[in-house]
């Protein structure tokens, strides 16, 4: 029997088809994949010319045994292809039908075809070596197998080695990237394999591969290798980009062509994810969302779609098959609300509020357009008494206040643990680098052994616990410890939101000179976020040290902070490239640290430090806890905080800077307009703000001195 909570849980979104983001689709239009050619010079050569070419350098093997098998396999492959019709070797290959047999072993068919034609019996082991013959033909661009077949076949192997004979310069440049790449050896080899596949299927050299070829390969790979397999890694795109093979305007990051960042969906696609059975209601929801779309952002559009299509109508279809009217009988409406509350009382109020707004909008719109909306204007199943906002807000505030009271005394211990973790990780890495392979070293009372590796890498320093044998990547640990410390320090000293933290850039650091005294006041410009307002925060000496350490870490050898494009998970769009402060190396690519990455770093640091809460359970600390604690502490001490800036804005002391377009994400500072936005209108009456902040800090220092003197006198 279905429980009250099963209806909502059962209504899941159907799997989303493979699709590119808007940015990737635009790149695909500018740099389309190369079409499969029907004929080219190498495939038109006769048998004698092909044989003569492949039995000479650079295709000639170095030892006699390898030369024997390469020649034998090549001649038998040519014998087999000649059994099929066609004027070129590519036409004969297509006539064999092998490309269509994706995933099946093709070699038994070759042997059977040769035997049926009365060719001499093959030597023992030829079936295993037939792939070498096809490998030579593909490497010399005599035949071009289809991409899906190449992705699924188990033979031939070692395709990159053969393509390196065709394009020695290109593969030498790719191999040189190994020394600059933090990716593992297996990931790097897989990247070369994917590049070789494109060359085998499309011809040409590595530098001829287009971004469209890469996106086509990823799409075919997702079809042949379903799921998030390592075989679907887009790392090969990063190799080609770093090798300088792409023209200007190509996507600057491999993640832009990844389906993990699909971009915005249309209302039809959003509703279509839930596979609703009732066509008229499905079309109504799509029309309703289209009507509301211009006035809301994309994250709100998704939330409304989830509430109406999944939590409301899909749930009704699951429990009442065949339902087709918005006019719900009282019993059905009551049962739906009960199922919602059984899952979560808080989310139930939000969903019911959106459903009520849906019904009221239809009723209002029916007055203006009765032919379009009139048939759907029916009584709303959600009454005003179902929406107990005041009680919900009171309960939520009580929970948050209690959470803040519990974590406020633990903040110093958390900050100390983050600093200790960073110092210990750095000292451990330094000691490991000084130790030789197999040598023991001790840091902070813990003994480790420098691991011996076959292929040392400057991006990996491995150590192992002598007791357990568990290996640790000390470079990765030091990097994670540093960014966990930096995130904790910035969050606790500024009280900014997690989204604002990830969007801090080099342009966020600005200065203001007080005209009367000539004093320079460092300020942190926080991009528009929840309140759609840009804010200025004074940078304390403690915060200045943290930001200085961050900038020193991320600067390139030329002293410039790299420009990175970050993905906005709320709007599902890519922001313009910016010199973001929170960025780190992942594999061969420098990437922005996303919000979930910040949370993961903080949680891992807390777990490693063994911090516990008041109840003795592991401490749970979210980025927003820092903001609540900061606001509570600032209010208690009377120090300027976000609320102070809001009051100043209302009084006209500070005005928004940057472009004037509406929307909090449209006013973020790009690399081109960032400095202008910070130093423009945002500085109107900044002297007044600075004087208030300086006075606030001075009063705080005087209060500390007074308390200290009173303590000494007592």
Interval 603-635: pLDDT, tens: 999 999 999 888 888 889 999 999 999 988 888
Q: Which long-range contacts (CB under 8 A, 24 or more apart) does 586-591 make?
A: 586/182, 587/181, 587/182, 587/183, 587/187, 587/235, 587/238, 588/177, 588/180, 588/181, 588/182, 588/183, 588/235, 588/238, 588/239, 588/242, 589/238, 589/253, 589/254, 590/562, 590/564, 591/253, 591/255, 591/564
Q: What is the mean pLDDT of residues 630-647?
A: 65
pLDDT on residue 19: 67
Domain ranges, residue 560: 415-461+475-699
Does 298 share its domain with 215? no
The more confidently predicted of residues 703 and 172 is 172
Give the integer Cα–Cα distance in Å for 650 and 666: 22
pLDDT at 62: 84
Last residue of a domain, one of 239, 257, 291: 239
Asked if 235 and 273 sit in the same domain, the reply is no
Reported as a pLDDT band with limits 50, 70 and 90, residue 1 is very low
Does residue 534 surpass a pLDDT of 90? no
Interatomic CA distance for residues 89 and 81, integer angstroms: 7
Do 206 and 349 share a domain, yes or no? no
Note the pLDDT of residue 532. Answer: 64
The total of structural domains in the chain comes to: 3
* Same domain as 183, residue 280: no
**pLDDT of 691 above 70:** no
Q: What is the mean pLDDT of the chain?
A: 85
Boundary (domain end) residue, out of 337, 368, 387: 387
Neighbours of 713 (CB within 10 A): 6
- Same domain, yes or no, for 275 and 202? no
- Residue 609 inside a domain? The answer is yes
Cα(640)–Cα(700) distance, integer angstroms: 10
On whether both 175 and 85 belong to a single domain, the answer is: yes
Rounded Cα distance, 7 and 336, in Å:
9
- Structural domain contains residue 506: yes
- Domain boundary among the residues 224, 239, 254 is at 239
Distance (Å, rounded) from C-alpha 18 to C-alpha 218? 10
102 and 230 share one domain: yes
pLDDT, mean of residues 318-339: 95
> Is 604 contained in some domain?
yes
Span of 68-72, 357-361, 483-487, 529-533 with lowest mean pLDDT: 529-533
* pLDDT at residue 644 is higher than 70: no
Residues 6 or more apart from 111 whose CB is under 8 A from it?
Answer: 122, 126, 127, 130
Q: What are the pLDDT digits (tens) for 448-499?
A: 999 988 878 888 899 999 999 999 999 999 999 999 999 999 999 999 999 9
Task: Give a yes or no: residue 403 inside a domain.
Answer: no
Split at pLDDT 50, 70, 90, the class of 653 is: very low
**Number of neighbouring beta carbons within 10 Å of residue 223:** 14
The verdict on 235 and 318 lying in the same domain is no
> What's the rounded mean pLDDT across residues 667-690?
38
Judgement on whether residues 234 and 281 belong to the same structural domain of the protein = no
Whether residue 81 is found in the same domain as residue 38: yes
Residue 183 counted as domain residue? yes
pLDDT 10s digits, 162-191: 999 999 999 999 999 887 777 888 889 999
Confirm whether 258 is domain-assigned: no
Q: Which residue has the higher pLDDT, 122 or 407?
A: 407
Residue 141 has pLDDT above 50, yes or no: yes
In a domain, 97, yes or no: yes
Predicted structure pTM score: 0.79
Q: Is there a domain that residue 84 lies in?
A: yes
Is residue 701 predicted with pLDDT exceeding 50? no
What's CA 651's distance to the chain center, in Å? Answer: 41
Same domain? For 285 and 181 the reply is no
Tokens of 597: 């990455």
pLDDT at 34 over 50: yes
Q: Is the pLDDT of residue 13 over 60?
A: no
Residues 165 and 284 in one domain: no
């Amino acid at each position: 029997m279905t429980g009250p909570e099963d209806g909502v849980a059962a209504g899941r979104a159907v799997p989303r088809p493979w699709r590119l983001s808007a940015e990737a689709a635009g790149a695909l239009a500018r740099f389309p994949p190369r079409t499969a050619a029907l004929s080219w010079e190498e495939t038109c050569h006769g048998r004698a010319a092909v044989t003569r070419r492949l039995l000479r350098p650079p295709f000639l093997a170095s030892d006699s045994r390898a030369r024997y098998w390469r020649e034998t396999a090549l001649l038998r492959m040519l014998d087999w292809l000649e059994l099929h019709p066609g004027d070129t070797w590519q036409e004969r290959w297509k006539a064999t039908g092998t490309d269509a047999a994706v995933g099946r072993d093709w070699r038994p068919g070759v042997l059977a075809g040769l035997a049926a034609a009365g060719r001499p019996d093959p030597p023992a082991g030829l079936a295993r070596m037939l792939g070498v013959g096809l490998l030579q033909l593909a490497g010399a661009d005599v035949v071009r197998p289809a991409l899906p077949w190449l992705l699924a076949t188990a033979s031939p192997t070692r395709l990159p080695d053969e393509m390196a004979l065709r394009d020695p310069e290109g593969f030498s440049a790719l191999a040189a990237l190994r020394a600059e790449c933090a990716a593992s050896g297996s990931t790097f080899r897989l990247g070369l394999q994917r590049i070789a596949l494109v060359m085998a299927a499309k011809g040409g050299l590595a530098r001829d591969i287009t971004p469209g070829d890469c996106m086509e390969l990823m799409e075919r790979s997702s079809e042949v290798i379903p799921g998030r397999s390592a075989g679907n890694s887009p790392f090969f795109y990063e190799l080609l980009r770093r090798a300088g093979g792409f023209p200007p305007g190509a996507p600057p990051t491999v993640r832009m062509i990844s389906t993990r960042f699909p971009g915005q969906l249309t209302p039809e696609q959003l509703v279509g994810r839930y596979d609703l059975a009732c066509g008229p209601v499905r079309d109504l929801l799509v029309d309703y969302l289209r009507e509301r779309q211009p006035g809301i952002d994309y994250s709100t559009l998704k939330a409304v779609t989830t509430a109406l299509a999944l939590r409301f109508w899909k749930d009704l279809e699951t429990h009442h098959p065949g339902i087709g009217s918005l006019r719900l009988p009282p019993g059905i409406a009551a049962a739906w609300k009960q199922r919602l509350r059984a899952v979560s009382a808080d989310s139930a109020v939000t969903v019911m509020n959106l459903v009520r707004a849906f019904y009221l909008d239809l009723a209002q719109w029916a007055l203006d357009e009765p032919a379009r909306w009139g048939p759907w204007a029916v009584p709303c199943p959600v009454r005003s008494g179902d929406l107990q906002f005041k009680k919900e807000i009171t309960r939520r505030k009580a929970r948050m206040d209690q959470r803040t009271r519990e974590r406020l005394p633990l903040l110093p211990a958390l900050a100390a643990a983050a600093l200790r973790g960073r110092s210990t990780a750095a000292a451990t890495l330094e000691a490991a680098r000084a130790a030789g392979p197999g040598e023991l070293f001790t840091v902070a009372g813990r003994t480790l052994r420098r691991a011996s590796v076959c292929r040392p890498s400057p991006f990996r320093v491995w150590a192992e616990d002598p007791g357990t044998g568990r290996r640790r990547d000390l470079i990765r640990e030091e990097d994670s410890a540093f960014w966990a410390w930096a995130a904790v320090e910035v969050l606790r000293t500024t009280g900014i939101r997690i989204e604002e933290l990830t969007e801090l850039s080099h342009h966020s650091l600005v200065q203001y000179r007080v005209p009367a005294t000539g004093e320079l006041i460092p300020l942190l410009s926080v991009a528009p976020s929840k309140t759609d307002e840009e804010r200025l925060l004074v940078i304390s000496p403690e915060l200045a040290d943290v930001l200085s350490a961050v900038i020193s870490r991320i600067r390139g050898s030329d002293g410039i902070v790299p420009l990175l494009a970050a993905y906005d998970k709320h709007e599902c769009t890519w922001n313009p490239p910016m010199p973001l402060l929170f960025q780190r190396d992942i594999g061969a690519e420098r990437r922005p640290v996303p919000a979930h990455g910040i949370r993961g770093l903080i949680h891992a640091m807390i777990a490693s430090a063994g911090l516990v809460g008041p109840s003795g359970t592991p401490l749970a600390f979210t980025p927003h806890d820092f903001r609540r604690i900061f606001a509570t502490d600032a209010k208690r001490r009377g120090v300027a905080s976000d609320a102070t800036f809001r009051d100043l804005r209302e009084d006209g002391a500070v005005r928004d800077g940057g472009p004037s377009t509406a929307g909090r994400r449209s006013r973020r500072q790009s690399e081109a307009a960032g400095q202008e936005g910070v130093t423009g209108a945002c500085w109107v009456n900044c002297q007044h703000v600075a004087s208030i902040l300086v006075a606030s800090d001075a009063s705080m220092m005087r209060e500390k001195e007074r308390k200290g003197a009173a303590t000494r006198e007592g």
